[in-house]
Structure 1
Amino acid sequence: MAAVTPSRLKALTRLRCAIFQTSYNPSSIRTGAKYLRARLRGPSMVQYYPPVINVAALARQYPELELVDEDEEQRLQDIEDRKRRGKGAPKKAKTKADSRRNQRKRVIVSNVLSSVACSFCFLHTSPSPQPTLSAARFALFAILACTNSLFIFTILHMLVYFKVPTLAPETGISVSIAED
């Protein structure tokens, strides 16, 4: 009896797959077809477990019963207690100006202003002229880094109040002082 050639076996396998509607996989690569062919388990599992009945669903379905959900009441009470202690969730920003990012910018600007005010207090009470100029320069550069014209305007008014004649000559900013 003669041996069957490999090409004839491949042709037979291809024909068998076409007849029985299976996938032709001559190299036996893992395709996951076994799992894709298997029946889905989800629907039978859902039918196995009974539906969960909760108080909120019953209260929505039958509002005339006026059911009270104790867990929900406790949750709302806890939220109210946290808010009273200052630990609640922050309010949602209605506009861009109300956002936390904008509040952070305002805090940074106020910190810069307070440091400048401290520098000017040092500048006003300083007995020697040398620390005066360095404190004033520090204050000016802190304000210029802030890049807000309103605050720079305020600082220039402070300079006039503290009677600082020239501030940081290399920047070209000077303040004219009006005598009382």
Structure 2
Amino acid sequence: MSHKMRYILISSLLVIAMSVLLTGCSNKAKIGYIDIDRVATESPQLKTLNDAFEKEYKPYNDQMEDLAKKQDSMSKDDYTKAAQDLQRKASGVQQKYNAQRKAIVDKVMEQISKEKDLSAVTVKSSVGIDPTAPDDNAANIDGVVVQGGIDITDEVIQKLQ
């Protein structure tokens, strides 16, 4: 048998073996998705957190506006130092609240994921129902169509009451 024939035979057997092995791996993954914008606006718990953030962030925002008005009367170095200091403090407040929001939503998504036996949960940001999809609950999530995905937005909002 020539070397080329042996290569073709081994390749064919390998393809057949892989086909047989992979046919047993056909478990369908259940994907859940949430509309994070809806959760942020409709969840009382996150609304309360957002209100607290705005209250704590507002003084820094006001100080930045005042500093911008005083910019002409300050040296460039003093202005830069003051602006960077305010931005650092404001960024710290923003990071603190972002971490709290994420922890709250992640905890609820994990609970719902276990309850519904989901393989994965993704956050939809630029999402709309895909009119070309044959399934009425297929969503276009950042350009990827998830067929049969489960929208858990309402459950997340409900648990965040």
TM-score normalized with structure 1 length: 0.21
TM-score normalized with structure 2 length: 0.23
Larger radius of gyration: 1
Report the structure, 1 or 2, having the larger strand content.
Answer: 2
